[in-house]
Structure 1
Amino acid sequence: MLWIDKSSHNKLFICSPDLKVKVHGICGKHKSDELFDLSSIEDFFNNQADNAPLAFLREGGRGLLRIDENLIEKAMCLVKFWSSYDVISFGDKEKEEYTGPNDLKACVCRFCRRGDPKVKFKKRNAHAIPEALGNKLIFCNDECPDCNVTLSHIDKELAEFLKYRRSEGGIRNKKSKIIKVYGHNFFYDGSSRKLKISPLAILEEKESEYYVKLEGAERITHLGIYKALAKIAIDLMPRNLVDEFQSTIDWIKGEFVPQKLPNVFYIYQSSSVSQPLVQLFVRHDETLNLELPRCIVALTLIDLTFLFIVPLGKGEPIYMEDHIKDYLKCIIQNAPEQSIDCIDMADRIGKYAHVKKWISKDECEIVDQSEFNSFQEKNPNQVDFPEFDASLVKILSCQTSTEYLSPRAELTNRLRIEGSIAKMIHLSIAFDSPPVIRCSWEIEIQAINNRETALRAHCTVVVSHRCISRVCSTEFGEVSPFFLEYVVGVACEHLGEKIADKFCQYDFLQLAGFLMESQGLVPPTKESTEQSVMTTHVD
């Protein structure tokens, strides 16, 4: 018999004459047993040709199957996956678990690479999964106290993403309390199950129910969610694997923003867990299937299982959107297709997490919207600029100079924007004489897989605007991000034309947006918050 995977349920086998005799013997023993009518199983085997290939699959309760091309393809996919990965599990042992050396003096921080005596490590100092998400058992010995504090903000967007679920699921925070959730149009107390909603939260009404959209109060981004998931993976993976994900660590630490990332998939579970559960699938060195991702993670938080590739591994390609999708059925074999969804990592725009669900009218109290106004997001800027109009802008001069160009044609000719790190350094904005503005900055482009520098350049753009107050405020020192992206785009296009023969595959037309994002200067969205980050699953 050939095992399809590491479970004891899925296997391929040959229906030999000897097997038929054994099946006949087993079924014969139970012929008079009313509780075990095995005649249909005996008939199935009797109707097969001798030595016919068969399969037994647990998935979906499908049982015995005749082998056809589709089943063979599925089986080979399972064999390829499970023969290529070692699986490391956390959270299912009902006891404390630690990653990193047990000897704290031997620890070297995964994120800053400092060790004793420069930094002192402490037992239970760093939760490998945020405690706010229910983790009481899984710790990372070799995340130093400094990095634990410095990187604590990374958890924020994932925690906000799951805020309502945390309260509804009774997940207790660091103070062992179930949190209260304040949103744009609702208030929920998980301890008392008390829910207040604004009339604006109601999308549909039935005789005894409301269909509501409960919208969170803080913006989150898909990129921020992925970064939090990636940090969890770095804390949990074997220590000898960490060095292969130095670019991932640099991204987590905010040193750059990747242009492309694979999507994160998630699946709704029929029940909730209070303690997070994790499976790390680590591709072992002996496999010949090197095209498989080095590390895949299945992380269950409350009633959701996130499935994602740990991105930016050394020597790995830049995995595109749905690269992991073909392997989801290998990881969660009983999941119906319609219950699996994904977070589009190409979407970097800030949104409000929200939950859509039917609630009983008896379970909520309707209050005036004014009760929630204090939880509306405040504009962090002093100035609300009007819609940007490029026709009012005049480029007076654009100068770009190359300070360093890699002599390695193999690097520059093959480098693509999704395989690069791009940084905007020393941005300076000065008013020569209104309405003239001088913008200057440096650009550095590196290969993401080995951090080799491909290009350093200096850009200066002098620009005038027919109504300068529409894009700049000298009083508050603010500039419209749409205006700045337009100016940066002019220089990037000019630079791309000058060195097009060296960077044959690099898209300089996209570089302006990439640089803006790396600086945290992504222009705010004009889209409404109707775009859902996640909805509650309805069985």
Structure 2
Amino acid sequence: MDYKLINKVEIILPCSLENDEYVDPENKYCRFCKKNEQSTTFNNRSHAIPEFLGNLSLLMHTECDQCNSFFSKNYDTHLSVYTAFERSILGIKGKNGIPNFQHDSLLINVKYIENKQQIGIDPKSNFLKINMEKSTFTFNFPKNPFIPYSVYKSFIRMSFAFLPIEICNKLESTRLFLRTKNKIIEGSEVNTTVLKYTVKDHFKKLKLFIFQKAQESKVNRPEFISLFVYNDKAYQFHIPNKEMDNNTEKLQMNIIPVFENVYDIETFNFNKTELERNHTEKLTFQFAGIDSRDKSENFLRSLE
């Protein structure tokens, strides 16, 4: 493999440790803007991975309040929308507990009443498919409107949080890219194409891998690749920069073989800066105890 692993995070969701754990040295120095406590404040509980994803205890010292607020408002808000349905259907607890979900169409919702999950689906919609032979039901789950480019930058922000600080200090272009709404690094638009695939039986887990190029190649490959895995969805992308990448030629990226059982491999471009509407993704579960199509219809009626 052309890449070596330089950092790895694995969390069973929700991550709620008895004591907070910090991922970086205890120095009040922001890795995103390079300011210290003489020129900015560090009063917020800055989560290395957003709290709404189920990370309740993994924090970082090296993100100031100003950067934390900017990322939360401009990027993480859209990642929250992007992951809302799966967090609700899987019962992943965030800052305010397990979230309810209501799609804008009003055709599907997930609610928690007295800690019991209730799912409402219009049977005439195409949000749920039941395969009796395989004993599976698949949600073609909808997403409320989100900005893809903001989701992409939230991915980059998380990855930058786990880069060794000495590498962060070299990537001034990445730092500027994150702290502005720009799509440009050194006059070129950043390639926001993400390799996306499904990992079998990977629920209520969050993993983040960061790889660095281990050897030169005839192919123009990025210096850093990040793999973010949330439940059964994996997103592989490069960390954009001008200091260590050759941006004069097209960067090429192959899937880094971390998991054995993967499927639905595709590319998705997160370059859109307007609201993305009517976006759906698949989420498949197996069930037991439903053994006839008649029971299947009863199951559907119970979701009304």
Q: TM-score, normalised by structure 1?
A: 0.45
Give the distance between the partners of 1:221 and 1:229, measured in 2 at CA: 13
Q: Give the structure 1 partner of residue 227 of structure 2.
A: 298
Q: Give the structure 2 partner of residue 308 of structure 1.
A: 237
User: Is 1:261 matched with 2:191?
Assistant: yes
Tell me the SS of whatever aligns to 1:148.
helix
Q: Give the structure 2 partner of residue 342 of structure 1.
A: 267
User: Is 1:226 matched with 2:152?
Assistant: yes
Give the distance between the partners of 1:170 and 1:341, measured in 2 at CA: 27
Alignment-mate amino acid for residue 165 of structure 1: E
> Percentage identity across aligned positions?
17
Conserved? CA contact 2:81–2:146, under 8 Å:
yes
Give the distance between the partners of 2:197 and 2:275, measured in 1 at CA: 23
Q: Give the structure 2 partner of residue 195 of structure 1.
A: 119
Alignment-mate amino acid for residue 216 of structure 1: K
Choose between structure 1 and 2: higher helix proportion: 1
Alignment-mate amino acid for residue 146 of structure 2: I
Give the distance between the partners of 1:342 and 1:143, measured in 2 at CA: 31
User: Is 1:186 matched with 2:119?
Assistant: no
Q: Give the structure 2 partner of residue 216 of structure 1.
A: 143
Question: Larger relative contact order (C-alpha < 8 A, sep ≥ 6)?
Answer: 2
Alignment-mate amino acid for residue 162 of structure 2: L
Relative to structure 1, is the Cα distance of residues 320 and 233 closer, same or farther in structure 2, using a 3 angstrom cutoff? farther
Give the alignment partner of residue 168 of structure 1, picking from 77, 85, 89. Answer: 89
Conserved? CA contact 1:195–1:364, under 8 Å:
no
Tell me the SS of whatever aligns to 1:300.
strand
Alignment-mate amino acid for residue 113 of structure 1: K
Q: Give the structure 2 partner of residue 91 of structure 1.
A: 10
Alignment-mate amino acid for residue 224 of structure 1: S
User: Is 1:114 matched with 2:35?
Assistant: yes
Give the distance between the partners of 1:274 and 1:204, measured in 2 at CA: 21
Conserved? CA contact 1:110–1:143, under 8 Å:
yes
Relative to structure 1, is the Cα distance of residues 260 and 273 closer, same or farther in structure 2, using a 3 angstrom cutoff? same
Structure 1, unmatched stretches of 5+, are 1-77, 368-539
Alignment-mate amino acid for residue 309 of structure 1: H
Q: TM-score, normalised by structure 2?
A: 0.75
Tell me the SS of whatever aligns to 1:166.
helix
How far does the alpha carbon of each residue in 1:217-272 deviate from its partner, in whole angstroms, 9 at most, with x for none? 3x223212211100101111111111333322323223422334141112212223
Quote the offset at 1:155 in angstroms: 0.8
Quote the offset at 1:181 in angstroms: 0.3
Structure 2, unmatched stretches of 5+, are 286-295
How far does the alpha carbon of each residue in 1:88-138 deviate from its partner, in whole angstroms, 9 at most, with x for none? 112359866533322x3xx3212222102223435x821111011111343
Q: Give the structure 2 partner of residue 17 of structure 1.
A: none
Tell me the SS of whatever aligns to 1:88.
strand
Quote the offset at 1:320 in angstroms: 7.8
Give the distance between the partners of 2:283 and 2:203, measured in 1 at CA: 20
Relative to structure 1, is the Cα distance of residues 174 and 316 closer, same or farther in structure 2, using a 3 angstrom cutoff? same
Alignment-mate amino acid for residue 133 of structure 1: L
Q: Give the structure 1 partner of residue 25 of structure 2.
A: 101
Q: Give the structure 2 partner of residue 236 of structure 1.
A: 162
Give the alignment partner of residue 317 of structure 1, picking from 246, 249, 253. Answer: 246
Conserved? CA contact 1:244–1:313, under 8 Å:
no
Cα RMSD of the aligned pairs, angstroms, is 3.4
Alignment-mate amino acid for residue 344 of structure 1: N
Give the distance between the partners of 1:280 and 1:205, measured in 2 at CA: 36
Relative to structure 1, is the Cα distance of residues 322 and 313 closer, same or farther in structure 2, using a 3 angstrom cutoff? closer
How far does the alpha carbon of each residue in 1:12-34 deviate from its partner, in whole angstroms, 9 at most, with x for none? xxxxxxxxxxxxxxxxxxxxxxx
User: Is 1:128 matched with 2:58?
Assistant: no
Larger Rg: 1
